């Protein structure tokens, strides 16, 4: 009986925090993508890097695709960042175009770790990983992922529920 009560108590912060955060501070669901013209900063750094080496090899590393590729990877890494979900990006919040939205209470991170541990041990959950990965590879195309990234609430919360079950 007490296990059920405890399970219920733990479910509230896990399932309610992110939706509550969206309800109180609604996302704008902007449709802009990462394919926008280079900013002044991006252009400055890019042109400096290009000018520092005159060899042809540099084009292999620094070419027209570099700026967009960097934006994509930056967004992708935000999606796989634990601190994004549990610490609102702390201790490095200084990322433009990424929201610092509160998503889960920080102490629930332990349930995610336990959930991942339980999920990787069981092959039947493989499809969840692939779908999550696919979502994580599509979302970085958005310039502002806030709101769109809520889709990850479902697999992450599911993993955390698995984690809670591991303990109880």
Least distance CB 35 / another protein (angstroms): 20
Residue 6 vs 77, nearer CB to another protein: 77
Between 16 and 120, whose beta carbon lies closer to another protein?
120
> What is the chain's Cα-based Rg?
20
Q: Minimum CB separation from another protein for residue 88, in Å?
A: 9
- Rounded alpha-carbon distances, angstroms, from residue 5 to 1, 12, 20, 108: 7, 11, 22, 17
Residue with the two structure tokens 């400096």 = 48
Q: Which of residues 106-135 bind another protein (CB under 8 A)?
A: 106-107, 109, 116-117, 120-121
Candidate segments 6-14, 23-31, 54-62, 143-151, binder of another protein by CB under 8 A: 54-62
How far is residue 130 CA from its own chain's centroid?
Answer: 15
Query: Is 44 one of the binding residues for another protein (CB under 8 A)?
Result: no
Residue 99 · residue 84 · CB < 8 Å: no
Stretch that binds another protein, among 7-15, 24-32, 80-88, 141-149 (CB under 8 A): 80-88
158 is an interface residue for another protein by CB under 8 A: no
Residue 114 makes CB contacts below 8 A (sequence gap 6+) with 162, 163, 164, 166, 167
Distance CA 92, CA 90 (A): 5
Contact footprint for another protein (CB under 8 A): 48-49, 52-53, 57-58, 60-61, 73-74, 77-78, 80-84, 86-87, 90-92, 106-107, 109, 116-117, 120-121
């Amino acid at each position: 009986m007490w296990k059920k009560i405890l399970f219920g108590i733990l479910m509230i912060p896990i399932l309610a925090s992110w939706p509550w955060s969206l309800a109180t501070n609604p996302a704008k669901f902007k449709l802009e993508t990462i394919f926008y013209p280079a900013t002044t900063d991006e252009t400055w750094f890019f042109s400096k890097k290009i000018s520092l080496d005159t060899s042809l090899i540099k084009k292999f590393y620094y070419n027209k695709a570099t700026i967009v590729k960097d934006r994509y990877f930056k967004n992708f890494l935000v999606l796989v960042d634990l601190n994004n979900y549990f610490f609102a990006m702390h201790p490095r919040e200084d990322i433009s175009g990424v929201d610092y939205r509160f998503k889960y209470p920080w102490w629930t991170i332990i349930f995610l770790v336990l959930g991942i541990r339980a999920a990787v041990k069981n092959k039947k959950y493989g499809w969840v990983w692939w779908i999550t990965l696919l979502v994580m590879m599509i979302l970085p195309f958005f310039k502002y992922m806030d709101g769109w990234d809520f889709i990850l609430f479902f697999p992450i919360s599911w993993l955390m529920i698995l984690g809670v079950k591991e303990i109880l």
